[in-house]
Every structure is written in structure tokens, then in C-alpha cells.
A and B are shown apart, each in its own frame.
Chain A
């Protein structure tokens, strides 16, 4: 069953066509990668899913819902979580607080019960904490739990962002360049984590990534984009050997 469907989506910024008549489907349970040169429109695809932009034409469906009907803050409620290419964490909060914000979509309390810290608010906090602890264990963040984000090194921040997205308990996880700027060891860790996220947690992953080793290592299917349009779609091997992709990366031969 397809979880996410893009159908003939086009988005323009002024004269620039950032996404050009793009159609693709992400199947439930797969790791789907989007590759392409800088400015190809990959992050814009993510921002469209997050509803930061309205497409000019086309439809975006998620899990049998029309995504275009919801506000940006409503996307998480359907079970979509994401990371950002230029890390967007809550800088002046601890790692734990950041992950707890991820639990926001499961909030059952209201203003009054929170200000009074009623037993139901307490119960909710304990439940949230338990979920968050599982993710902290999974991603090895124990040592950083109570540290402020503003004091953390880049590599750890990347992991915290993944953790925060996982804390929302998503069906679909969007990772925008999860390995960019990471060391070789950190990239290997990320590779295994993505594998486990899909296998153990049963979460579908849609990721943008430049590291072809990582892409062919974890993804089932790959979409190659250039100038907002689809170049090729298939298994990592198929896409890497596709003539249009080679041309886009290496420039026209002759």
C-alpha cells in the first residue's frame, strides 16, 4: 500500500520552478531516498509535505488523507515527522525537553489541568518520559540527556533531531540529509539506525541524502531529481546506472 503519494505536484518561487510536475509514491515499510544535485528541489519536497508551501497544482496524499487540507501544525497528527537540513532544534532547552516537545501531538491535557498539574497531567508526563527514554536508549543519547542544545557538537545535534522526530511516534519519517557533515563513524551509526528504525520500529523512511554509500546501503528505492523534475526512479543500482542521472551528475559527455 502506498503511504505517501505525490501526483503531478508543481511549485514555483517567482520564476523558478522548484518542483516540476513531480509524481511518486512511497510504499509502507520501505526506505525511499531522494537524490539529486544541490538546488534540485529535494528539501522543497519535504517542505511541501510539511505544508510550509502550497503547491501550484497537484495533490499530496498521506495515508488516505488529503494533506493539502491540513495546516502545517496538523501534519504531525497524521504521523509524519521530520528533520531539517540546517538543524532546527530548540536551542535553549535540554535534549530531554526537545524530545518531550516531540510528544506534543499526543497531548491529552489542557491549560487548566496543566497549570494545576493534576494527576492526569502527571500520568501523561510519566508516559511521555517513558517513550522518550526508549528513544534515548535506542540512539545512545543518555550522556546528553540533560545538556542544553546550544552546547552540543554538530554530530550529536543531528542525532537529537532524529530522536525528536522519533519521539512523535511517526508512521513516516522524513530525514533531510541525515549524514551531511557527519564523520565516517557517525555515518555508519546513522546507517544502522535507519535500518533499525525501519525494521524494529516499522517506520517508513523518506530521506534526502548525498552520500551514495548510505543511500545504496539502506534504501529500497531511489528517486533522482534535477531542476525539480524526476530523472529516474528505481532500485539504487538502477538509478545509479541510469544515463540521465549520470548526465546530471557529471554533465553532458562531449
Chain B
């Protein structure tokens, strides 16, 4: 059991608990940044993909995990960010301006959506945002002059300081670009959670009435949460577009929205770790499945079998298992295991008991 003696308020304000943790969190990005040297190009691409999903997960986590507003429509914002970025670049805006701008524009789009969404709670909000995601498909087709309609758009690579960064040509540089965005978003998120705004998100999530009584303007808070969430999701979308190289109206389907929500639930709602852990599951599940399919195929002596929709089905099953047995996600499970070791033998089963789900909001009457 590790005991931390606190002698200074900064020890609680700092994002790390002790020197151990700080060292770990400094080494981790360095090891990851060195990935081009210890991973081949295929797995580097996979890792890049995982990081992009993690950024998208961080975006949705702000809204769903920390503000308690379920969104099944975030693929629409991925699409918005992706198209905004490429359209701006095509218009001659340099990438280093187009990219931030794409996120900001997506944030503004998010606020526009938030205005009607503010009246909705729980399942109704989920349905509303899901409808939005479905609608986005049509909007992209209809605005063909900008979006290229069903034939979609293509982007080869982007220029950063006169240097061409391309997923295929310079996979390591593209990876560092994504990693930089992921690190910056994570740092901003950590800061958010240790300052008044982040706490007001949590307050609005857990009890709207008492948040109001503490002076938190619920409508404004949710609006800012939508804006931040959509901006980050927009950046993830822009990176997804660059990663894919080509995309059209079907790239960001409602299935992506659902997958994104599943991802943060599996990873662990209400934690930054959850977004990353969920992204790792989502990113490496296809590999894991194809490897295990080979094994199963070999076991029965036949060829590998192809089952359509298997990936998504297995993913759904994992999700159901998590909701039933570990609603706090992978990160929650890890916290429990860690606490068990730290407190051994004093761990109690009810230590992490959850009394209410995140989806509840209204409780005045």
C-alpha cells in the first residue's frame, strides 16, 4: 500500500499524484512517440488510427462522460470537421490554419445543434442526435458543390512548413501530427477537469437543481460542453479524413456514431483514460478477430470463414457484457484492481458501488 503524505494544496491541483505517476506519464508519450522505430508501417498506421479514435472519444467524453448528455450523432461532427478541413485546404488555406479552424467551425455547428437539444434529456437527446447523424448523410449528398456528393472528396496529404505530410508517403510524420493533437487535447482536458468549468460539467451531469443553486447556468454549461465536444470531434474528423485519404457521404455513417459511444462506454465513462482504452479496443479488435478466426479455422481443419458483420456483433456483445458486469468500463475495472492491491486485505465490495446511472438528469419533483 502506497501512502501519500500531502503537505501542499498543489499536490491535489497537479494532475499527477506523486513522482511515480509523473514519471510514468512522461515516459509513456516518449515511448509512443518513438513508435516509428519499434513498429512496422502497418502497425504504425493502426496506432495512428487508434489515436484518432481516442481524440474522437475525448470529444464525446466531454459531452457524455462528463456532462451526462448522450449523443448518438457525433459522426455528423466528425464529418463536419473532415469536410471543413479539406474544403478550407482546397480553398488555399494553409493546413496549420485550416485544421484549427475546422475544429472551431465544428464547435460552432455544435452550439447551433445544442440550442434545440438543451430541452431534451436522456433517451430523447440520444434519438435527436442520432437523427442528426442520419440527416448528415443527406446533407452531404445535397450540398454536392461543396462536398462532392456521393463521389466524395480526395486529399493526398497536407503541407506543414513547406513539408508534405502524408499518411502513405510519410507515415511517421503523420503519426506525430496525430500524436501532437492527441497530447494537446488531453492536456487541455486535464486542465478543464481541475478548474471551475469542468466541475460545472460534472455538476450539471449529477444534479441540475443543485448545480443551479450553486450558480451554474445549466443551459450555458451544456452549450459550452457541446461546443468543446464538437470542436474536438471535428479535429478527429479532420484527421480521419487525412488518414482515409478519400471519403464520401457514407464514410461517417450513423454506425460510426454508435461505435464511438460504445467505445467510451467500454473504456469507462467520465475518465480521460476511458477514451484511450476504448480506442485501443476498437482499433485492435479487427486484428484480434482476424487472428482468432485463423486459429478457429485451423482448429476445425477448414479454411478461415468469413462472417459478415461479425466485428460489429462481437463489439456489441462486449458492450452488453460491460454494461451488465462492469458499467465503469475498463478504466473502472483497473481502478478496482489497483485499489484491491493498495488496500489489501481491506478492500470492500461496495467501495465502488454506483447508486444511479449517468443518464438520469431531472430530479426536482
Contact = CB atoms under 8 A, between A and B. Distances in A.
Interface string A123-142: 01110011001000000000
Contact of A104 (B199, B206, B209, B353): B199
Closest 10 CB pairs of A and B: A76-B215, A105-B215, A114-B195, A90-B206, A88-B210, A117-B191, A73-B217, A72-B212, A107-B196, A88-B207
Contacts of B224: 111
A101 B216 contact: yes
A121 B190 CA distance: 13
What bracket does the count of chain B residues touching chain A fall in? 35 or more
B127 to A, nearest CB: 24
Given A122-B13, A126-B13, A72 B214 contact: no
A124 B196 CA distance: 10
B202 A73 contact: no
Contacts of B213: 50, 72, 75-76, 81-82, 84, 88
A96 interface: yes
Interface in A66-92: 71-77, 81-82, 84, 88-92
A2 B332 CA distance: 51
A115 interface: yes
Contacts of A76: 213-215
A137 B107 CA distance: 42
A88 B202 CA distance: 13
Interface in A157-181: 164, 168
Given A107-B196, A129-B12, A101 B191 contact: no
Contacts of B338: none
Interface of A: 47, 50, 52, 71-77, 81-82, 84, 88-93, 96-97, 100-105, 107, 109, 111, 114-117, 121-122, 124-126, 129-130, 133, 150-151, 164, 168
A126 B252 CA distance: 44
B348 to A, nearest CB: 9
Interface string B250-280: 0000000000000000000010000000000
Nearest to B212: A72
Contact of B210 (A71, A90, A114, A151): A90
A84 B210 contact: yes
B352 to A, nearest CB: 8
Contacts of B150: none
B210 to A, nearest CB: 4
Contact of B195 (A71, A77, A91, A117): A117
Interface in B315-346: none
Given A88-B363, A100-B199, A104-B214, A151 B207 contact: no
A103 B13 contact: no
B8 to A, nearest CB: 10
Given A109-B196, A114-B197, A93 B202 contact: yes
B214 A105 contact: yes
Given A93-B199, A104-B196, 7 more contacts: A73-B217, A84-B213, A88-B207, A109-B196, A114-B197, A129-B13, A133-B9
A31 to B, nearest CB: 20
Nearest to B200: A104
Contacts of A115: 188, 191-192
A150 B355 contact: yes
B1 interface: no
A92 B215 contact: no
22 contacts: A74-B215, A82-B213, A84-B209, A84-B210, A88-B207, A88-B210, A90-B203, A92-B206, A101-B203, A101-B211, A102-B214, A104-B199, A109-B195, A115-B192, A121-B191, A121-B195, A124-B195, A125-B9, A133-B9, A150-B355, A164-B210, A168-B214
B302 to A, nearest CB: 49
A107 B199 CA distance: 12
Contact of A50 (B13, B191, B212, B356): B212
Interface string B1-35: 00000000110110000000000000000000000
